[in-house]
């Protein structure tokens, strides 16, 4: 039996699973205690350094560690060691390795030396009162805006001083040369609830020692999981600075009414062989076979979450971010490479102290070489096994814009035929893999693949600019008003584009320069771009105003949301019975991707049009009765005014309700503050 096979045996895990909470360096003013899990080591030493600069010969001391319980090693350093850097030297059968602490709370430049830290000294003023501004709400109340820290401020038109930094995210009063608000002020004006930050822990592809260089990466290459990224700090050399400034950013966002989601990448690491955990316990953290690293991630290695101490490490790490940094949500990269048990435990562990934290990720099914039999993975198809974890709906994404791996394939909003049933299922928060609307993240674009507007340009090359804008906004109206959780890439509301210098568009800008990745704030000076942002604001405001769009159970959706029938080909529509706390008695949502208008007959009553092809919001634009014309390539959304006529005067004849779902339909109307339930009618087409 090889050592890597031994790692996954019940005997090894029973003997060497450590359950304590003191791994790493635990600081007090009197002493610092070290504990490292290294069950295969012959000996271990702690190296203390004056600085965190790798390669500098400034070691202060070296302390011998003692073998302790469950494969751990312990040591102590007397006195106040706050600010001292350290590493572990581990003697193994394979040789001697010096490595950073996997449980490091912060590091020096480029993450090679950990730093002992008094965490309380990094808390901004008022940190003890900092909290999630959206606490008490459901995940379906969230509107998630995905942002790369650097993209927000790197374009000169941002007017942001701390360009590319944590602190730049929370600068207020910034504007373009034309005086148009940018950065945080713009984000606040959009009305989003959650800011999803692309990886902001310490990652390996950007040299922190030279932040002035034109270097960029999304950050999906972990080096130190519990350490903020140094290139986003104003000083990457002093470990406390990155911690303080990340906390300041989070506090500033909370004060702005915005919750914070951290993008986490536990499925793989930057380099499997050199990752600190694998340096200390060779090949334990990763799935390997005969020295070969499994590569389901496509990044050179896969994390062996099914092993007990990797499982513990991931759970401990997520809990740490929630406890120490007040993180309000976690987005998991390629979560389909992690096991169901790990996901469920980390969700339960975090929510035991922070019940409002949300969790979601990429649940793609991916091939990986598991180290144990009968391990269930956290994929879309296993969503029923992770009931408190949501997954990105590539179903809706591909329906809206076309198959993701064919840039010229077009989707529903560009006129693809035969997509009505998929649109209906996704609108109801129930694609075939999803058991509940709280488990679907609905989107049309994210950092991966082409920006939405670029994809529409590629897949509908003969369409005019105006029609591509209509397609863009129809896509937004579909995912924004569907049951589930809406999600958009930062700048989508500005028709964000990533053109390549030689023509075409970048579909994988993970290491492209700022000139491609930055948000071009100057576009807001163009009327068509400013109008587009206003349209998104209106969609968001409408969703937030109507709880009926944010149902939390499949049962509630079945009782209140009905697909309309008898519409023109390719047109979809829905009738929603208003929830008790909804200001609308009923809502009708219509989507027309065709190049010609369509007319839809409405149930009797006075219907307020709130969303059209050009305008979106909560205020009525027009009141109609009888029927409504839906413009080409657009959405039309109407709300039912309170009923003023007696119930007997409402015409419920079948010819007046040609749009209701074949199953049944119901409307609720408020009369003098009371709720009257209209009779459900079944419609059959002959």
| DSSP character string of 172-214 | -S-B-TT--B-HHHHHHHHT-SEEEE---EEESSS-TT-TTS-
Closest alpha carbon to 34 in 43, 42, 44 = 44
Number of structural domains the chain divides into: 2
Q: Where are the alpha helices (DSSP H) in 267-328?
A: 276-280, 308-325
pLDDT at 653: 32
Residue 114 lies in a domain: yes
Q: Tell me the two tokens of residue 305.
A: 């979450």
CB distance 386 to 416 below 8 Å:
no
| pLDDT means over runs of 10, the chain (686 residues) | 93 98 98 98 98 96 98 98 98 96 98 98 98 98 98 98 98 98 98 98 96 88 98 97 99 98 98 98 96 96 98 98 98 98 98 98 97 97 98 98 95 97 98 98 98 98 98 98 98 98 96 97 98 98 98 98 96 96 97 98 93 98 96 98 47 34 33 30 32
Distance CA 488, CA 452 (A): 10
3-class SS letters over 428-487: CCCCCCCCCHHHEEECCCCCCCCCHHHHHHHHCCCCCHHHHHHHHHHHHHHHHHCCCEEE
Tell me the C-alpha distance between 336 and 382, whole Å. 9
What would the two tokens of residue 217 be?
């990466």
User: For residue 663, is it within any domain?
Assistant: yes
* Closest alpha carbon to 102 in 32, 201, 29: 201
**469 token code pair:** 């804008």
The candidate with the shortest Cα–Cα distance to 568, out of 423, 396, 420, is: 420
Strands 572-577 and 561-563: antiparallel
Number of helices (H) and strands (E), helices first, in the chain?
16, 31
Give the pLDDT confidence score for residue 674 in this predicted structure: 29
Rg of the Cα atoms in the chain: 27
Q: Which two tokens stand for residue 205?
A: 């592809």
Strand duo 85-92 + 72-78: pairing = unpaired
- Is 172 domain-assigned? no
Model pLDDT, residue 511:
96
Residue 17 lies in a domain: yes
| Calpha distance 645→605 (Å, rounded) | 9
Pick the closest to residue 89 from 132, 41, 55, 134 (CA basis).
41
Q: What is the pLDDT of residue 643?
A: 58
Q: Are strands 634-640 and 586-592 parallel, antiparallel or unpaired?
A: antiparallel
Cα-Cα end-to-end distance for the chain: 70
CA distance 547 to 628: 24
- The CATH number covering residue 7 comes to 2.60.40.10
Helix H or strand E segment including 610: strand 607-611
Where in 279-396 does DSSP place strands (E)?
288-289, 292-293, 329-332, 358-361, 390-392
| Nearest residue to 323 (alpha-carbon basis) of 345, 348, 358, 351 | 351
pLDDT at 534: 98
Q: C-alpha distances in angstroms, 118 versus 29, 105, 242, 314? A: 8, 10, 14, 23
CATH code where residue 622 lies: 2.60.40.1180
| Tokens linked to 83 | 């600010």
Q: What tokens does 306 get?
A: 């099914």
Per-residue DSSP letters for 112-131?
A: SSEE---GGGGPPTTGGG--
Determine which helix (DSSP H) or strand (DSSP E) holds 74, and give its type and residue range: strand 72-78
- 70: domain range? 3-122
Domain termination residue (choose one: 122, 144, 159): 122
Residue 263 and residue 199 in contact, taking contact as beta carbons nearer than 8 Å: yes
Residue 444 · residue 397 · CB < 8 Å: yes
Residue 633 lies in a domain: yes
Output the pLDDT for position 642. Answer: 67
Which of 78, 104, 122 marks a domain boundary?
A: 122
The pLDDT score that the predictor gives to residue 641 is 80
Coil, helix or strand for 376?
Answer: coil
For residue 63, is it within any domain? yes
Residue 72: C-alpha distances to residues 17, 24, 81, 268, 682 (Å): 9, 11, 22, 24, 68
Residue that finishes a domain, picked among 107, 122, 137: 122
Question: What are the φ and ψ backbone dihedral angles of 45, each rounded to 5 degrees?
Answer: -130, 150
**CA–CA gap between residue 584 and residue 577 (Å, rounded):** 9
12 assigned to some structural domain: yes
Neighbours of 211 (CB within 10 A): 18
Distance, in Å, from the CA atom of 34 to the CA atom of 213, rounded to the nearest integer, reads 36
Task: Round to whole Å and give the CA distance between 197 and 168.
Answer: 13
Q: Is residue 406 domain-resident?
A: no
Provide the sign of the torsion angle of the four alpha carbons 227, 230, 231, 232, taken in this order. positive
Which residues have a catalytic role annotated? 333, 362
């Amino acid at each position: 039996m090889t050592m890597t096979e031994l790692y996954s045996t019940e005997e090894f895990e029973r003997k060497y699973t450590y359950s304590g909470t003191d791994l790493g360096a635990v600081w007090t003013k009197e002493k610092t205690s070290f504990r490292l899990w290294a069950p295969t080591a012959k000996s271990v030493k702690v190296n203390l350094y004056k600085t965190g600069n790798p390669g500098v010969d400034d070691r202060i001391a070296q302390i011998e560690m003692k073998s302790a319980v469950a494969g751990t090693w312990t040591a102590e350093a007397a006195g106040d060691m706050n600010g001292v850097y350290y590493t572990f030297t581990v003697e193994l059968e394979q040789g001697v390795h010096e490595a950073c602490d996997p449980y490091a709370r912060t590091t020096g430049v480029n993450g090679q030396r950990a730093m002992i830290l008094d965490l309380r000294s990094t808390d901004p003023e008022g940190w003890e009162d900092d909290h999630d501004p959206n606490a008490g709400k459901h995940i379906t109340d969230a509107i998630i805006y995905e942002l790369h820290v650097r993209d927000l401020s790197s374009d000169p038109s941002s007017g942001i001083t701390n360009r590319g930094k944590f602190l730049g995210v929370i600068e207020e009063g910034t504007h373009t040369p034309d005086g148009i608000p940018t950065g945080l002020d713009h984000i606040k004006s959009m009305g989003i609830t959650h800011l999803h930050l692309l990886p902001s822990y310490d990652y390996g592809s950007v040299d922190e020692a030279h932040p002035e260089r034109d270097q960029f990466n999304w950050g999906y290459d972990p080096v130190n999981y519990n350490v903020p990224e140094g290139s986003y700090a104003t000083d990457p050399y002093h470990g406390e600075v990155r911690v303080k400034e990340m906390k300041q950013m989070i506090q500033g966002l909370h004060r702005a009414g915005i919750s914070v989601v951290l993008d986490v990448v536990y499925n793989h690491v930057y380099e499997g062989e050199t990752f600190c955990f694998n340096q200390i316990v060779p090949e334990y953290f990763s799935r390997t076979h005969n020295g070969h690293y499994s590569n389901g991630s496509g990044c050179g290695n896969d994390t062996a979450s099914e092993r007990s101490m990797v499982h513990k490490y991931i759970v401990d790490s997520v809990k740490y971010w929630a406890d120490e940094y007040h993180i309000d949500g976690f987005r998991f990269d390629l979560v389909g490479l992690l096991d169901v048990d790990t996901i469920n435990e980390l969700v339960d562990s975090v929510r035991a102290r922070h019940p409002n934290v949300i969790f979601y990720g990429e649940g793609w099914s991916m091939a990986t070489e598991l180290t144990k039999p009968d391990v269930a993975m956290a994929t879309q198809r296993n969503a029923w096994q992770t009931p408190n974890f949501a997954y990105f709906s590539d179903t809706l994404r591909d329906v809206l814009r076309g198959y993701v791996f064919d840039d010229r394939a077009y989707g529903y909003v560009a006129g693809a035929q035969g997509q009505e049933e998929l649109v209906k299922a996704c609108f109801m928060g129930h694609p075939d893999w999803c058991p509940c609307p709280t488990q679907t993240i609905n989107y049309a674009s994210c950092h991966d693949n082409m920006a939405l507007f670029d994809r529409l340009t590629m897949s509908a090359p003969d369409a005019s600019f105006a029609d591509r804008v209509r397609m863009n906004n129809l896509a937004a109206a579909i995912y924004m008003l569907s049951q589930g959780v809406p999600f958009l890439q930062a700048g989508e509301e500005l028709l964000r584009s990533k053109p390549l210098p030689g023509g075409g568009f970048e579909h994988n800008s993970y290491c492209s320069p700022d000139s491609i990745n930055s948000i071009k704030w100057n576009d807001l000076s163009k009327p068509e771009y400013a109008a587009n942002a206003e349209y998104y604001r209106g969609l968001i405001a409408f969703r937030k105003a109507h709880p009926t769009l944010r149902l939390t159970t499949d049962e509630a959706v079945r009782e209140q949301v009905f697909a309309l029938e008898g519409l023109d080909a390719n047109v979809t529509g829905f009738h929603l019975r208003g929830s008790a706390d909804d200001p609308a008695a009923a809502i009708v949502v219509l989507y027309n991707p065709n190049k010609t208008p369509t007319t839809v007959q409405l149930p009797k009553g006075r219907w307020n049009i709130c969303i059209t092809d050009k305008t979106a919001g909560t205020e009525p634009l027009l009141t109609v009765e009888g029927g409504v014309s839906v413009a080409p390539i657009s959405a039309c959304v109407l709300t039912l005014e309170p009923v003023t006529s007696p119930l007997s005067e409402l015409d419920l004849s079948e010819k007046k309700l040609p749009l209701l779902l074949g199953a049944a339909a119901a409307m609720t109307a408020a009369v003098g503050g009371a709720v009257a339930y209209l009779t459900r009618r079944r419609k059959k087409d002959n």
